[in-house]
Chain A
Amino acid sequence: QVQLQESGPGLVKPSGTLSLTCVVSGDSISETNWWAWVRQPPGKGLEWIGEVFHSGGSTSNPSLKSRVTTSLDKSKNQFSLKLTSVTAADTAVYYCARGSFITIFGGTNAFDLWGQGTMVTVSS
């Protein structure tokens, strides 16, 4: 059974860096998938933050103005998010998620598995 579990500080100071890790069990992050971060401010909808591919390449939402870095740690089978220069607007539940490319073997082209989410508050 594949599981994703986020971890990281629940409180970050304004102008600081938000750092989260997602540990993957039951699947290898080196396979043909992508590994993403999605956030949800309290009482609001979902926002795609960015993702890293099994190859190590990455992409992120341009609305976050290059504040995002995503990376893989294949030795630990986990991936990470760093969001710099945070403000109160970055307060949200942060989810990690897995996506799969569509191939002859299957795949969804969607976020098909999610972590439980972790609340991060930006406050002094």
Chain B
Amino acid sequence: EAQVTQNPRYLITVTGKKLTVTCSQNMNHEYMSWYRQDPGLGLRQIYYSMNVEVTDKGDVPEGYKVSRKEKRNFPLILESPSPNQTSLYFCASSYRGLGNTEAFFGQGTRLTVV
């Protein structure tokens, strides 16, 4: 089954404790992206990757890192999480860029930073 898989689904952590949210897709998509969803703000892009070893900032990249060592995986790294990073996070992938092809979303990761 074609899918985008995120882990974990839920995470509660403390301020400053490094964490990684994994994202994997099995559709051989070139393009992957991370979004955060906050009430009243919609979905905002954090980082995206056009292909292996090619990453770039989205609209809200501060406090986040990503890597794209393999085509299928695109982890999101929070080196020193803060409470303002409490949010619902979605990974998405598409065949090419998001300019004209469907984005497939993972099931989401709800992160709480206390």
Real binding pair: no
**Interface residue ranges, B against A (CB under 8 Å):** none
**Interface residue ranges, A against B (CB under 8 Å):** none
